[in-house]
Amino acid sequence: MAPRRAGAALLVLALLLVVASAGLSGYFGTKSRYEEVNPHLVCDPLSLGPAAVGSRLPAACAPLQLRALLRHGTRYPTAGQIRRLGELHARLLRRPAAAAAACPTAADLAAWQMWYEESLDGRLAPQGRRDMEHLARRLAARFPALFAARRRLVLASSSKHRCLQSGAAFRRGLGPSLSLGRDEVEVEVNDSLMRFFDHCAKFVALVEENDAAMCQVNAFKEGPEMRMVLEKVASALCLPVEELNADLVQVAFLTCSYELAIKNVTSPWCSLFSEEDAKVLEYLNDLKQYWKRGYGYDINSRSSCILFQDIFQHLDKAVEESKR
Ligand SMILES: *[C@@H]1O[C@H](CO)[C@@H](O)[C@H](O)[C@H]1NC(C)=O
Ligand SMILES: *[C@@H]1O[C@H](CO)[C@@H](O)[C@H](O)[C@H]1NC(C)=O
């Protein structure tokens, strides 16, 4: 457990540093740039960072095997998010031209180019390919013995397009000298392993397809904190508050985070939100992750058993084989 605690402490420290310097980007939750927690990567994406105490293996230890469980790289918004953003943007475009002077924020956002198409639907962005290539190169630099020529490499992915593309980019980052475990197939698709939640009947019935499971999330969307944010955004856009809802406001905030992650720009959508608003919207997303993926329901973690068994069985096997 100790290494995990140390990891969490490190994360908190990095977040504090960034929040002080970068406005809203500390509140993007699962849509934060990878650089957010490792700011040294902004200057050099291949940097291994400050040589943290304890990050090196003791001289007496030799790495036998590395099993990494990685999330996909930076991606585009989902089709649903793009559709909602399109609705909100279209609503601003319909405003009479005369209203522009009274409402500069709405005019700025109406002038913003809506460049997302629904076909982008959660796909890996060019930045996501770079994320994965750089991650592979950093891992290889940390464990040169494990990534030496002709070492065996196996890549498994879910069937999600962004994950397959991430696997391919990771593979490219490692260069041609490693051998793959199986012929030809570069990334093996295994959804029962990598999308265990979709394959767990109890999780699907009790959480995924059960509206009541998200009751706390829905209550927060209707609660006083969100109401304040809605009223502020409605007033900035000179729209009746009835025309907005939590999902539309959330997609505006998400667009602020996506534009930074995908295009490295501070989008005009960010200007709708203060740091206080960002805290409320961050909490809304955290709440959803808590109930849908995290500690909220026991089955959320138990559904991952197949994946964790797989990881530990392979590690045990590597140790056993090393003793022969
Ligand atoms: C997926 O992974 C599981 C667990 O390791 C394994 O039992 C199963 O055979 C794999 N399926 C495929 C299609 O490779
Ligand atoms: C992102 O933008 C910042 C500030 O404009 C700039 O310093 C940095 O070099 C950019 N990063 C990349 C990867 O383009």
Given this model, what pLDDT does residue 186 score? 79
- Among the listed ranges 50-64, 79-93, 116-130, 213-227, which one has the minimum average pLDDT value? 50-64
Task: Give 151's pLDDT tier (boundaries 50, 70, 90).
Answer: confident
Mean pLDDT to the nearest integer, 6-31? 57
Q: Using CA atoms, how far apart are residues 113 and 82, in angstroms rounded to an integer?
A: 13
**Centre of ligand 1 from the C-alpha of residue 95, in Å:** 54
Q: 188-189 and 156-157: which strand pairing?
A: parallel
Place of tokens 């994320």: 131
- Among the listed ranges 40-44, 133-137, 175-179, which one has the minimum average pLDDT value? 175-179
Residue 308 has pLDDT above 80, yes or no: yes
Place of tokens 């096997």: 317
Does the predicted TM-score (pTM) go above 0.85? yes
* Closest ligand 1 atom to Cα of 313: 5
Mean pLDDT to the nearest integer, 216-227? 98
**Centre of ligand 1 from the C-alpha of residue 290, in Å:** 28
- For the Cβ of 190 lying below 6 angstroms from any atom of ligand 1, the answer is yes
**Centre of ligand 2 from the C-alpha of residue 264, in Å:** 6
SS (H, E, C) the chain: CHHHHHHHHHHHHHHHHHHHHCHHHHHCHHHCCHHHCCCHHHHCCCCCCCCCCCCCCCCCCCCCCCCCCCCCCCECCCHHHHHHHHHHHHHHHCCCHHHHCCCHHHHHHHHCCCCCCHHHCCCECHHHHHHHHHHHHHHHHHCCCCCCCCCEECCEECCCHHHHHHHHHHHHHHCCCCEECCCCCCCEECHHHHCHHHHCHHHHHHHHCCHHHHHHHHHHHHCHHHHHHHHHHHHHHCCCHHHCCHHHHHHHHHHHHHHHHHHCCCCHHHHHCCHHHHHHHHHHHHHHHHHHCCCCCHHHHHCCHHHHHHHHHHHHHHHHHHHC
Choice between 244 and 57, residue whose per-residue pLDDT is larger: 244
Closest protein CA for atom 11 of ligand 1: 190
* Closest ligand to Cα 67: 1
Q: What is the pLDDT of residues 161-203, one digit of tens each?
A: 999 999 999 999 998 877 766 555 678 999 999 999 999 999 9
Instruction: Note if 72 is an active site residue.
Output: yes
Task: Give 19's pLDDT tier (boundaries 50, 70, 90).
Answer: very low
Structure tokens, 132: 């994965």
Q: What is the mean pLDDT of the chain?
A: 89
Domain boundaries, the chain: 196-315
Q: Using CA atoms, how far apart are residues 287 and 172, in angstroms rounded to an integer?
A: 36
Q: Using CA atoms, how far apart are residues 29 and 11, in angstroms rounded to an integer?
A: 12
Given this model, what pLDDT does residue 52 score? 62
Q: What is the pLDDT of residues 247-299, one digit of tens each?
A: 999 999 999 999 999 999 999 999 999 999 999 999 999 999 999 999 999 99
Q: What is the pLDDT of residues 77-119, one digit of tens each?
A: 999 999 999 999 999 998 877 667 788 999 999 999 999 999 9
Q: Percent of the chain at pLDDT above 70? A: 89
* Closest ligand to Cα 181: 1
